[in-house]
Chains A and B, each alone.
Chain A
């Protein structure tokens, strides 16, 4: 998705403003003129100045009709392909699923669902997807849980934890 520079500039200026407002509340180092607010404050000012230049550039590009007729937002071509949109949505979905489900369901179940769903939307043949997903979930689990001793959650499978 391509967004006109002017919009980016405005977003950056708003962000910089919020930071500047927030750092006003930071304390000073006792007996010094400088404190924890100085550095982020300077960066925020820098971002705001760059944002201003971006706005000017974006407006100029739009007036000149550069870059897809100077529109505010240019949607990526893949939005018109159902397969790719599905791919993107599933990608976002499985990641949210992982974050929220892994502690309850455990790594083995979550990891398997994660892989199968992604491979399904990428059009891997179902049998291949299922077999590879089972195998790779077990391999990753073995490598990290057994060899590297990372406490991956067991969740539902706690009773049969090995």
Chain B
């Protein structure tokens, strides 16, 4: 136990690793602060680089970059009224209203300090719950895994969008993509049409670079919005008054962090949804809800901690079950497989030092966020003036080379570009992309556990409900499926009762 911790410490505090974390921090802060570049995109862009690193520095780069990006996404929200990452969108108007009142430093300070606190809270939950869950999961058979994956995918459809039908189609498309190639229980080449490149399946990394980076660049190229003006006001000491806010809103911080961690842990829903939900909750439960929207810091405190805690929360199902909690961990799972650190309960029993190292990385990332974030706020105005017209082409070329670098094949470049265009068209038509990504990541796992279970039970579906945990998971999944239908029926009956009364 203690030797594993010692090993984790020595891996994390290695000079090379510290250097990687610093570099990733600057990268993350920059990507988050430039509107149109998201935290997920930061992860996707990092993958080709981390591909050449040892496992711990690779994970370190992703953990630090995403934590920083989710914080620095608040900066353009506050000064430009344009969220730097979708996770800041929930309270962008609020932060901007504060800047208009001359309180930009309070808004930015709250974003920074409570991001770090939320991140640390999420990490604490990760440290406590993941090993317990892993213990529990050691007893799972294919039946439990089948239901668990199915429940995860179901959550992704119902939580990540207000349009479950389109989310469901998106999920099906993802699962279909996962079917391509030899990776199925019978190792039969499916949908390859004689193409040898397709035998290994469609590469997950080029697919994700395309869906999360290329689609954003297409959106930028055809964007008709005029350039926004930066609010120019001196930003003083951002830490001033933060202690008072902590004392004034302890409940809000706790509530935001808890909700954020939970939403993060639910598959398919990440920091952005956590922030929206927590901002809405803050407003509903506030003593002064009328102040929301006029430049009131309470909602920023609560949802600012929520989006950073969601980041750590998303790693819980990712590490324990291999089921990503958000689109960032969907990419992370791909990286873990490449590094032979296959997620699952065995990771906790066989290589605990790696898991401890992940905990440490999260703690360090959220601590160094405070000084580095402070520096970033200092130079924020200069970052916001970075010409995106010059930046976007460079990022696109980087995406191309990055996709090529994974397998050294031009085929992956084509996959990335096509995925980017398809994702763009789908999003224009209100098909959410997150369920598709989950489908791609989990397709093989779902099929394998389904087919194994079917063979074990000799084709009887009743066997899927024969073990206690499997039954519980199965019943819960089925309830989630029929929930929207039941809600509709209930509403109709209520309306009916209302008119007849």
Contact = CB atoms under 8 A, between A and B. Distances in A.
A6 B387 CA distance: 41
Given A2-B429, A76-B222, A99-B414, A33 B190 contact: no
Nearest to B169: A50
A33 B459 contact: yes
A40 B179 contact: yes
Contacts, number: 142
Contacts of A105: none
Contacts of B173: 47
A72 to B, nearest CB: 13
Chain A interface SS verdict (over half): helix
A35 interface: yes
B52 A78 contact: no
A123 B222 contact: no
Interface in B34-88: 48-49, 51-52
A18 to B, nearest CB: 10
B222 A150 contact: no
A47 B390 CA distance: 41
Interface residues on A, range: 35 or more
A150 B49 CA distance: 11
A27 B186 contact: yes
Nearest to A3: B429
A151 interface: yes
Given A27-B186, A111-B397, A118-B396, A47 B172 contact: yes
Contacts of B392: 118, 122
A150 B176 contact: no
Interface in A68-106: 76-78, 81, 84, 87-88, 91, 95, 98-99, 102-103
Contacts of B347: none
A102 B149 CA distance: 41
A46 B121 CA distance: 40
B405 interface: yes
A161 interface: no
B397 A91 contact: no
A65 interface: no
Contacts of A19: 176
Contacts of B172: 43, 46-47, 50
A148 B49 contact: yes
Interface stretch (B262-270, B446-454, B485-493): B446-454
B49 to A, nearest CB: 7
A103 B188 contact: no
A46 B188 CA distance: 22
Given A32-B455, A46-B172, A144-B405, A88 B221 contact: yes
Contact of B222 (A40, A57, A84, A140): A84
Interface in A4-50: 8, 12, 19, 22-23, 26-27, 29, 32-36, 38-40, 43-44, 46-47, 50
B390 A103 contact: no
Is chain B's binding surface mostly helix, strand, loop or mixed?
A: helix
Interface in A95-138: 95, 98-99, 102-103, 107, 111, 114-115, 118-119, 122-124, 128-129, 132, 136-137
Contacts of A118: 392-393, 396
Interface in B236-273: none
B265 to A, nearest CB: 26
A152 interface: yes
Please tell me the size bucket of the interface on B.
35 or more
Contacts of B425: 1
A147 B434 CA distance: 33
Contacts of A27: 186, 188
Contacts of B447: 39
B221 A39 contact: no
Contacts of A157: none
A150 to B, nearest CB: 4
B442 interface: no
A22 B179 contact: no
Contacts of A84: 221-222, 224
B41 to A, nearest CB: 17
Nearest to A8: B429
B186 A29 contact: yes
A31 to B, nearest CB: 9
B454 A34 contact: yes
A103 to B, nearest CB: 7
Given A26-B190, A50-B165, A115-B393, A36 B184 contact: yes
Interface of A: 1-3, 8, 12, 19, 22-23, 26-27, 29, 32-36, 38-40, 43-44, 46-47, 50-51, 53-54, 57, 76-78, 81, 84, 87-88, 91, 95, 98-99, 102-103, 107, 111, 114-115, 118-119, 122-124, 128-129, 132, 136-137, 140, 144, 148-152
Given A3-B429, A76-B222, 17 more contacts: A1-B425, A19-B176, A29-B455, A33-B454, A36-B188, A39-B184, A40-B190, A43-B179, A50-B169, A50-B172, A87-B222, A98-B400, A107-B401, A122-B392, A124-B389, A124-B390, A132-B390
17 contacts: A1-B428, A2-B428, A22-B191, A23-B190, A27-B188, A33-B458, A36-B184, A36-B186, A40-B176, A46-B168, A91-B221, A98-B413, A99-B410, A122-B392, A129-B390, A140-B394, A144-B48
Interface of B: 48-49, 51-52, 165, 168-169, 172-173, 175-176, 179, 184-186, 188, 190-191, 217-218, 221-224, 387, 389-390, 392-394, 396-398, 400-401, 404-405, 408, 410, 413-414, 417, 425, 428-429, 446-447, 450-451, 454-455, 458-459
